[in-house]
Amino acid sequence: MKYISEENKNNLLQVVEAEQLQLYIGSKVQLHGMVYKIRKMSDFAFVLIRTKQAVVQCVYSSEFSEFPLELLQEESAVRITANVVAEERSKVGYELQLLAVEVLSRPEELSPIVINNKRVDTSLENLLNYRPITLRNEKERAIFKIQEGICRAIREFMYRERFTEIHSPKIVSEGAEGGANIFKLDYFGKQAYLAQSPQFYKQMMVGVFERVFEIAPVFRAEKHDTARHLNEYTGVDFEMGFIESFEEIMQMETAMLKYIMAFLQEQYGQELSLLKVQLPEIKEIPAIKFSEAKEMVAKAYHREFKESHDFEPEEEKLLCELVKKQTGSEFVFVTHYPSAKRPFYAMDSKENPEETLSFDLLFRGLEITTGGQRIHNYREQVAKMEARGMNPAAFESYLMMHKAGMPPHGGLGIGLERLTAKLLNQENVRLSSLFPRDINRITP
């Protein structure tokens, strides 16, 4: 259905982007979008149009609008013709006077969730059950614009540092991390698994490109139903060769995080402002040995630790509080995790074989990164596998690279959703997952 005057028919305009409207003050334009909200006043109405980048406010009035207001319906797809008029009282410096509209489609039924308020006021369950609809809310979709910005910044940084982007398989013959938290599947009568990480492949590619990275899904069959766990999440991985110390990996991540924060500040100010995000200031990230960190928390908070080889979630929060109080940093590296808790490919410390040359990065109370130096020598790798009761023959394709010779190397994996969630001060990682997959959820 179209309500376009004869004058407008003879003067068809090019559709412009919402971000360009400032350039068209004093002009007549067309743009398209979805009717986000209609606010009726006494003798006029505000009509908010949701475009792909912004929500644009238009004014409807019988003085200049050439169609009845009843034609518009929230969540209809429309193409509008409007005058861009200078308006000092507007935050953007102009307003759009609605002249004509072409309705491209209408919703079949009323939305079960109100999405056009400042926030979607409903339970987490409803927020996720109606995800295709609730993501249309301005704040909900801003989360994923910021997540896009994180990925853009990572890619730019990685390319600048001469890393090559790779795409490794997600159907594998063995699990990189071992254990029971691996999804099994029937692969034409053979046993196969969904990849827990791209670990084996990114190591292999160090022998090809020296420096590689990947942003891709990983799968963990963990029966955790917590605010910090997902069964499918997006892993940001990089691996680099010819390192002299695992500390070089930590330095690379620090530089990358600085780049991300600067990039978001420059490119995503609108979304940061909308969500009231306080980006962390990163100068240097302190590093503390695992054993020392455990003792620090136990002493400062008068608590005994039950888990000697890893952190309890509460300990991660307390350590971050302590470090922020002492140094001002919202990040902290924890290094030299016990060998018993790290995978078979982690390199053990020469000074203390009970410790690994590995680290985690904690941010605002949550582990967001695991990394470290890998074993590159074939005999050392086989020896560690055998010491753990593993059969090296089952990992023949992985050990092929060791036999052929590998440089000293290491890398890390970051949980994209966890990084996003903590950056936005969200309590549940599902809020930063587009369509979360957990032990109870496989739709939508």
Six token digits for residue 383: 């020896």
According to DSSP, the β-strands at 164-165 and 211-219 are: parallel
What are the tens digits of pLDDT across the range 255-305? 999 999 999 999 999 999 999 999 999 999 999 999 999 999 999 999 887
Q: Calculate what percentage of the chain has a pLDDT beyond 90.
A: 91
What are the tens digits of pLDDT across the range 78-118? 999 999 999 988 888 999 999 999 999 999 999 999 999 99
> What mean pLDDT comes out for the span 119-129?
97
Domains and CATH numbers, the chain: 2-105 (2.40.50.140), 133-432 (3.30.930.10)
In this structure, the chain runs to a length of: 444
The 211-219 sheet, strands edge to edge: 164-165, 211-219, 232-241, 409-415, 366-373, 358-363, 331-335, 287-289
Residue 11 has pLDDT above 60, yes or no: no
The residue type of 91 is K
What are the tens digits of pLDDT across the range 22-70? 999 999 999 999 999 999 999 999 999 999 989 999 999 999 999 999 9
Q: Calculate what percentage of the chain has a pLDDT beyond 70.
A: 97
Q: Are 414 and 362 in contact (CB under 8 A)?
A: no
Residue 10 has pLDDT above 60, yes or no: no
What are the tens digits of pLDDT across the range 201-210? 999 999 999 9
Q: Is the dihedral of CA 215, 217, 223, 229 positive or negative?
A: positive
The structure tokens 């680099």 sit at 240
Cα–Cα distance list, 414 to 156, 253, 363 (Å): 17, 10, 11
Six token digits for residue 300: 């400062």
pLDDT at 368: 98
d(CA 97, CA 41): 15
d(CA 40, CA 295): 62
What are the tens digits of pLDDT across the range 169-201? 999 998 777 667 899 999 999 999 999 999 999
d(CA 257, CA 422): 13
